[in-house]
Structure 1
Amino acid sequence: MDAKLKVLILGTGFAGQGHADAFRSAGAEVVGIVGRTPSVLNDVAEKMAIPYASTDWQAALQACRPDIVSIATPGGAHYDAIKQAIEFGCHVFSDKPLTDSGETSAELYQMAMQKKVKTAFAASFRYMAHILHAKQLVASGAIGEPVEVECISHFNLERDIPFGWSHRKEEGGGRLNNNFTHMISIVTSVVGEKILSIMGEVRDDLGRAPIVEGVHNFKTRRDFIPKDLNDPALKWGESNVEWSYTVLAQLESPFAKKPVSALFKHGGLTPNFDDNHIVFHGTKGAIYIKGHYGMGPLFYWGDSKTWEELPIPKDIVDDLPDISGDTERNWHYLARQFVKDISGEPYTPYPSFKEGSQYQQLIDLIRNNNNWTDVSHLQ
């Protein structure tokens, strides 16, 4: 295609600006941006040289007539905007979660299929270099048949981060929406995309958070933690969503005869004693990756019966966007594949609303917390 694809961005914060950079890097033209707060919106549009800025999403669709819309707001604001974009005939790139419920996510997926528009879902930490390396190793048979995956992370987040969307289920908050979506995407990308069964437990161990005005960027929210948390004038908002979870899943793998077991253990507020990590165990070896999202380094256990650090292969290094931030680099990688697909060029398969819808339905099941067996009567 000779003409550049036109992109309209919804959201002015860290994600909105990151999506805009990613699509520009992929060769698309960012023609407009929509935000909620006029002063912030105008500042971002001017800073990023985006020609059109509006607080009205429907008007922006009409004025910009984009080929692609990029949804970069908290998940609770996704449904109406995505629905309108699909009805308008736009391809849609959405950050996670797709919506705040499995039902509405499934509806959007079906709408996109019916309208024949392409979709991308930014559970994009599957594009970390060491995750791509693990995918190569597993596919090559380096660990034999995969049998078990372990994902352990404790974030020790500040309990007094100002109250906002991350504290509310209806706004797309919770650790399942904002951590598990990445983790399940990472594991399925390496082992196999088909999820056979799942169970889990969630816990809200936060309770409340201080209400503070002026927080517009998710990345800088820590800067707004009140200095005096005992101030009687301070107002508080109630959390209604999980800050910790434990999930067990069984995955079908093209590399194994039996289902692969996967454990996902995450504590949003609890400190880690040892490294956060991801481990892939097989019948003949194992892969250990330090970091909650596979930041690395990667270690391999094979015939030597010792853990050996492996460098990232050159083909993976050469294919990664030259971007310093992990989140931003992964957006660039996904946007590049999405633009290639829409343009009719060869591309690597990427997560779509199919995965976004499935993950949200899984999250609804996990949040039910109905997997417990009462054994209190046993002697």
Structure 2
Amino acid sequence: MSKRLKVLVHGTGFAGEGHAEAFRAAGAEIVGIVGRTPEVVKDVAAKLAIPYAGTDWAAALEACRPDVVSIATPGGAHYDPIKQAIAAGCHVFCDKPMTTTGATAVELAVLAEKKGVKTAYAASFRYTPSVLHAKRLVAEGAIGEPTEIECISHFNLERDIPFGWSHRAEDGGGRLNNNFTHTLSIVTSIVGENILGLAGEVRDDLGKAPIVKGVHNFATRRNFIPENLDDPTLEWGESNVEWSYTVMGQIESELAKKPVSVLFKHGGLVPRFNEDHIVFYGTKGAIYLKGHYGSGQLYYYGENKDWEALPLPADIEAAMPDVSGETELCWHILAQDFIKDIQGEPVQPYPTFAEGSQYQQIIDQIRNDDPWTAPSALR
């Protein structure tokens, strides 16, 4: 029997708690958790029955001697902890974005490869049941050869969410880092991982946000929107990231003779009139997935020339973890595969720092309004 792997978590918010629960469900032992604020990290550790709680990452690595670290902080706080963990010989599970720049992401990917540690990159909405169903149908030839893909989403986010990491590029904010990473991962998981080229444009249509103290959990930030936004004593922070983007590109697919065209259109602050969706078109049909990450009902357009709602196959449904929340479900699946891989068990390919570093390079180029063409090698 494989030994129970020890996991140290970095981050005490929504992602930190979610990662801890995912690894625990995968059979790992959560030996410690690290956060910025002593009171918060102690409370979370007590809530989750984690024996070690601290604010010093290097000290935690030394005290806990983990086999795996789980990085669940905003992207701006990833680089140093990951670099230290790799140096300590730990396998690394990292939420998106991997870092804040392509250069630092590539550096970490190279370090991990040289050290011989495994990595997982949690652009993980590719694991929702409907996406897995679509992947199976496309592989079976249900739409013929894939020809084009359309990813459309409108989030209508509250403009007055308190100023924080999501508003700053240096902290890992922006819709490319936190939305595009998921949709790109979904698309490549279905038609192929070889991205031939991408080009796009971004727009910051927010400008500023109120500065409010006491926001520790990203999932509850809406609760801190000030009641009086006209209060003259209220401080404001300036956004320096995109809140909308349009990206077009081509992906090579073993399922098609020609490159597959893809469109990613996201408006973070604009209202939706109809459903967000992801659609896969082919020479013989199409698959429509409802929802911004395609996690809703799947519809199939085939020989009968009409859209038909297809039920989720029983085996896919049975394989899903018993957990509430799509984000949490996807973390559970990826953590399970990561643990199995570390222990030498066979698993399907999952996103690693190879994809994470590639995505960061692409995001840099899109933000610079510079078309990105895939190099012959990642690095």
**Fold conserved between structures, TM > 0.5:** yes
Please state how far the C-alpha of 1:83 moved relative to its aligned partner.
0.2
Structure 1 residues 61-100: aligned runs within 5 Å: 61-100=61-100
**Does the residue aligned with 1:266 lie in a helix, a strand or coil?**
strand
**Does the residue aligned with 2:78 lie in a helix, a strand or coil?**
helix
Uncovered stretches (5+) of structure 1, i.e. residues with no partner = 372-379
> 1:315 and 1:189 mapped to 2: Cα distance?
19
Please state how far the C-alpha of 1:204 moved relative to its aligned partner.
0.2
> 2:339 and 2:143 mapped to 1: Cα distance?
34
**1:188 aligned to 2:178?**
no
Uncovered stretches (5+) of structure 2, i.e. residues with no partner = 372-379
Q: Which amino acid aligns with 1:252?
A: E
Residue in structure 1 matched with residue 40 of structure 2 by the alignment: 40
**Does the residue aligned with 2:152 lie in a helix, a strand or coil?**
strand
Q: Deviations over 1:259-308 (max 9, x none)?
A: 00000000000001111000000000000011001121000000000000
Residue in structure 1 matched with residue 230 of structure 2 by the alignment: 230
Q: Which amino acid aligns with 2:231?
A: D
> 2:2 and 2:185 mapped to 1: Cα distance?
33
TM-score, normalised by the number of residues in structure 2: 0.97
Q: Deviations over 1:88-133 (max 9, x none)?
A: 0000000000000000000000000000000000000000111000
> 1:370 and 1:111 mapped to 2: Cα distance?
27
- When the two chains are superposed, the root-mean-square deviation of aligned CA atoms in Å is 0.7
Residue in structure 1 matched with residue 374 of structure 2 by the alignment: none
**Does the residue aligned with 1:242 lie in a helix, a strand or coil?**
coil
Consecutive aligned runs of 4 or more in structure 1 exceeding 6 Å deviation: none
Please state how far the C-alpha of 1:167 moved relative to its aligned partner.
0.1
Residue in structure 2 matched with residue 163 of structure 1 by the alignment: 163
Please state how far the C-alpha of 1:29 moved relative to its aligned partner.
0.1
Residue in structure 1 matched with residue 277 of structure 2 by the alignment: 277
Please state how far the C-alpha of 1:347 moved relative to its aligned partner.
1.3
My pick for the range that moved more, 310-319 or 25-34, is: 310-319
Please state how far the C-alpha of 1:237 moved relative to its aligned partner.
0.3
Please state how far the C-alpha of 1:370 moved relative to its aligned partner.
4.3
Residue in structure 1 matched with residue 217 of structure 2 by the alignment: 217
Residue in structure 2 matched with residue 240 of structure 1 by the alignment: 240
Identity percentage of aligned residues: 71
Residue in structure 2 matched with residue 374 of structure 1 by the alignment: none
Please state how far the C-alpha of 1:6 moved relative to its aligned partner.
0.1
Structure 1 residues 291-302: aligned runs within 5 Å: 291-302=291-302
> 1:144 and 1:370 mapped to 2: Cα distance?
33
CA contact (8 A) 2:2 2:343 kept: no
**1:341 aligned to 2:341?**
yes
Please state how far the C-alpha of 1:3 moved relative to its aligned partner.
2.1
Q: Which amino acid aligns with 1:99?
A: T
> 1:52 and 1:313 mapped to 2: Cα distance?
42
Residue in structure 1 matched with residue 377 of structure 2 by the alignment: none
**Does the residue aligned with 1:329 lie in a helix, a strand or coil?**
helix
**1:12 aligned to 2:12?**
yes
Q: How many residue pairs get matched?
A: 371
> 2:38 and 2:319 mapped to 1: Cα distance?
38
> 1:279 and 1:345 mapped to 2: Cα distance?
34
Structure 1 residues 134-153: aligned runs within 5 Å: 134-153=134-153
**1:133 aligned to 2:133?**
yes
**Does the residue aligned with 1:7 lie in a helix, a strand or coil?**
strand
Residue in structure 1 matched with residue 267 of structure 2 by the alignment: 267
My pick for the range that moved more, 83-92 or 318-327, is: 318-327
CA contact (8 A) 2:153 2:277 kept: yes
Residue in structure 1 matched with residue 376 of structure 2 by the alignment: none
Residue in structure 2 matched with residue 318 of structure 1 by the alignment: 318
Residue in structure 1 matched with residue 375 of structure 2 by the alignment: none
TM-score, normalised by the number of residues in structure 1: 0.97
